[in-house]
Structure 1
Amino acid sequence: MKEVEMQKLWKNWLKVFIQKNFKNFILILCAIIILVVLMFLSIGLGALEIDYIKVKDIILYNLGCSQNLYWTKTENLIIWDMRLPRIILACLAGAGLAVSGVAMQAVVKNPLADPYILGISAGASAGATAIIALNLIDITQEYSVSIGAFSGAMLSMLILFFLNKSNKDSVRLLLSGCVISILFSSISSIIMFWAKDKDKISSIVFWLMGSVADANWTMIPLVFVAVIVGIILLIIYHRQLNAMLLGEETAHTLGVNTKKLRWQLIIVIAIMIGIIVAFCGMIGFIGFVIPHIVRSLFGANHKFVIPISAFIGAIFLLICDIIARIIVIPEELPIGIITSMIGAPFFIYILERKQYILGGGKK
């Protein structure tokens, strides 16, 4: 009898849960479908357009699901070794930047916050600039610039921690981040001033604008683990993030240790952003605008804001990468330019058409 009652309670709970969250689940499913379709379409686009049937066969062949081999080595290189890793990296970077922006805005309860506001990206850019301009590590090594960028990001996070280790105020945290950002930006400028090689300066500028063109299969696992683990952790913390948006006093009354939670979230964000910036350079705007778009359309509950932001961020950056590849064939634009050119007008439209939500009320 108890088993029957338990089954009945479980079925009723499941029915209520699905009815209550049906809209958001449908939206997530639609986002997944759109993302998969865009990924497949993106593979065939570029300076050399390749038939989509051939694209499918190349992927199946490399996955060991087909023995049909009728394409050239060049086509296999372009699809499997260049475009597919690039597309996956763009999706991971877009998702990571978007959810980092969501978490950062909740941590500091500031709608103007983005993942770069604490100076982590400035530290990464200084590290990469030093490697490129000063040859601190042999630049011909595959991941020398990425190592420098990640080291700079972690250094900036350590400085942030020491400046705020006994601090409970988010305002001081923001001010510290701004100062760290200015400091490392100045260091980058000094290094660029000393560098007399125009080619090196050009490389630095291109890196600062962001790109996923150097993606390969070796870097994908590291970025994948950092982003997926980061997203899962942020989803686990969704209740605490909701409480943080209501204010620190309210969060305390709900049993949230805001100081401990803030640093836990900052560490997750810093590692995720450090790895993304190390491999992709400075891709701006996504971590700022995507959270606002998602909240304005789907509400402020982080249980759904985080996964929806991840998919929309991935879709947005993938679209930007497609445009960057095809707009000036055979050249390509830095992806950071495209994200700003598309994102800024769209965000202005959202502000005009709908009020965005941060926390308990509309702004």
Structure 2
Amino acid sequence: MQKQSRNLPKDFIQKSFIERNKYLLISFALVVIVFTILFSIKLGAVNISWKKVIDILLYHCGISDNRYWSKTEDLVVWYFRLPRALLACLAGGGLAISGVAMQAAVKNPLADPYILGISAGASAGATAVIAADILDITAEYSVSIGAFSGAVLSMALLFLLNKDNRDSVRLLLSGCVISILFSSVSSVIMFMAKDKEKISSIVFWLMGSVADANWHMVPLVAFTVSFGILLLLIYHRQLNALLLGEETAHTLGLNTGKLRWQLVLLVAIVVGSIVAFCGMIGFVGFVMPHIVRSMFGSDHKLVVSLSAFIGAVFLCWSDVVARIIVIPEELPIGIITSICGAPFFIYILKRQKYSFGGKR
């Protein structure tokens, strides 16, 4: 009996614990998110006391009417750092759940949100806008408009190449080819650009940043990311079935071809909106789902929600490090995500045997 108890599936034990304490865990997650955002607001080149940070937030929320801080402090807390922290959390969560969706859709542990070439198309669009100084009428959002247009173009090309295809391998290969094509376009644009300042802006954007966050961006990204999380939670059983293989999924009555395209379209919308405002932020969508699976098993009801949570916290703290590590300069956030995340992922792989799908 003792031997049997030791051999109880780890996934079952973890899932049972989470189910019994789900409200406590949800509360804990909310507290962690809130404190992460507060620390993100507090830390930076401009030092603002905790009391002022809290009072400024309460004032703008209509809870307090006692105003004693400077206009600069008000701008830094409410108009710069808070939208930036929220956008970082949303982008981290969105990239993480997009990675979950793509890995399930193509049943490949190497898949990430960028594997279908959507991000490469967005990069080409943004690069063209920065290099050519076009769309000056909407200068504030010109790069975002260019990036989203490039993402839509790459998505249309992906559909064109796979309109009668039901094979995930061909879909994956098409995405790789599209990614190479648009990456080449970006490289040509950068090579042709003569202005060093523009080239520097392109490189910084390609490495990812949430420095330009504002209150107009946050609701748009929040809508797409929330929609993505909700839809993936609704379809968590279908995602579990996909990992069992094509034949098993068909036996369970699942239309794998239709579901795969729904997932691809969802990822395109979520990733397109994130890349349009934040640039290319690597690592998060690829590794976060693996970390969650290695710790909590492969049930997508848990994988989706926990990936969104861990991705949000991780990217927000990565942004804090990017801001404070070389004050008054700022590093691209993509550098921080790779440097901080890769060693932790290596530790997860070495700590225990782990293979895609949660089997050990």
What TM-score, normalized to structure 2?
A: 0.93
Give the distance between the partners of 1:322 and 1:294, measured in 2 at CA.
Answer: 23
Alignment equivalent of 1:237, drawn from 214, 235, 238: 235
2:291 pairs, out of 283, 290, 293, with 293
2:191 to 183, 190, 193: 193
Post-superposition CA distance 1:63-109 (Å, at most 9, x none): 11111010000000000000000000000000000000011101000
Question: What is the alpha-carbon distance in structure 1 between the residues aligned to residue 205 and residue 352 of structure 2?
Answer: 35
For residues 284-340 of structure 1, what are the alpha-carbon distances to aligned partners after superposition, in whole Å with 9 as ceiling and x for unaligned? 000001000000000000011101100000000011011011101111111000000
Q: In structure 1, what is the equivalent of residue 250 of structure 2?
A: 252
Alignment of 1:39-118 (within 5 A): 39-118=37-116
User: How far apart, in 2, do the equivalents of 1:265 and 1:147 lie?
Assistant: 23
2:155, 2:268 within 8 Å by CA — same for their partners in 1? yes
Amino acid at match of 1:297: M
- The structure-2 alpha-carbon separation of the partners of 1:181 and 1:241, relative to structure 1 and needing over 3 Å to count, comes to same
CA shift, 1:30, in A, is 2.8
- 61-70 or 132-141, larger mean C-alpha shift: 132-141
> What do the CA deviations read for 1:212-251 (whole angstroms, capped 9, x no partner)?
0100001111011010011101111101000000111111
Shift, 1:32, TM fit: 2.5
Write the distance in 2 (CA, Å) between the matches of 1:30 and 1:260.
Answer: 37
Residue pair 1:124, 1:152 contacting (<8 A) in 2 also: yes
Residues 126-169 of structure 1, C-alpha deviations (whole Å, 9 max, x = no match): 00000011223228711000000001011111111111111111
Choose from 327, 330, 353 the match for 2:328.
330
Instruction: Rate the CA distance shift 1:310–1:35 in 2: closer, same or farther, 3 A.
Output: same
Work out whether residues 324 and 335 of structure 1, in 8 Å CA contact, stay in contact via their aligned partners in 2.
Answer: yes
Superimposed CA distance per residue, residues 31-59 of structure 1 (whole angstroms, 9 cap, x where no aligned partner): 33212111112211100111111101001
State whether residues 245 and 360 of structure 1, in contact with CA within 8 Å, keep that contact through their aligned partners in structure 2: no
In 1, Cα distance between equivalents of 2:16 and 2:292: 21
Q: Distance in 1 between matches of 2:325 and 2:73?
A: 21
CA contact (8 A) 2:293 2:358 kept: no
Uncovered stretches (5+) of structure 1, i.e. residues with no partner: 1-16
In the alignment, what sits opposite 1:220?
218
Q: Distance in 2 between matches of 1:19 and 1:194?
A: 57
Q: CA RMSD in A?
A: 1.5
Q: Which residue of 1 aligns with 2:159?
A: 161
TM alignment of 1:22-41, pairs within 5 A = 22=20, 26-41=24-39
The counterpart of 2:135, out of the listed 109, 113, 137, is: 137
Paired with 2:278 and 2:68, the residues of 1 have a C-alpha distance of: 33
Shift of 1:193: 1.0
State the match for 2:309 in structure 1: 311
Moved more, 156-165 or 22-31: 22-31
Decide whether the 8 Å contact of 1:31 with 1:312 is kept in 2.
no
Give the 3-state SS of the residue equivalent to 1:242 in structure 2. helix
For the 8 Å contact 1:43–1:84, the answer to whether it is kept is yes
Task: Supply the distance in 1 between the matched residues of 2:272 and 2:262 (Cα, whole angstroms).
Answer: 15
CA 1:139–1:338 in structure 2 vs 1: closer, same or farther (change >3 Å)? farther
Give the counterpart letter for 2:106 in structure 1.
Answer: V
Match of 2:4 in 1: none
Q: Percent identity?
A: 70
Q: Structure 1 residues 125, 348: CA separation in 2 closer, same or farther (over 3 Å shift)?
A: same
1:19 Cα deviation from its structure 2 partner: 6.7
| Offset from partner CA, 1:142-201 (integer Å, 9 cap, x none) | 100000000101111111111111111111011000000000000001111111111111
Counterpart amino acid of 2:28?
A: C
- Report the Cα distance in structure 2 between the residues aligned to 1:41 and 1:129, rounded to whole angstroms: 33
> How many residues are aligned here?
346
User: Shift in Å at residue 29 of structure 1?
Assistant: 3.7
Q: Which runs of 5+ in 2 are unaligned?
A: 1-14
Q: How far did 1:354 drift?
A: 2.1
2:57–2:78 contact (8 Å) kept in structure 1: yes
Scaled by the length of structure 1, the TM-score of the pair is 0.92
Work out the CA distance in 1 between the residues paired with 2:81 and 2:358: 42
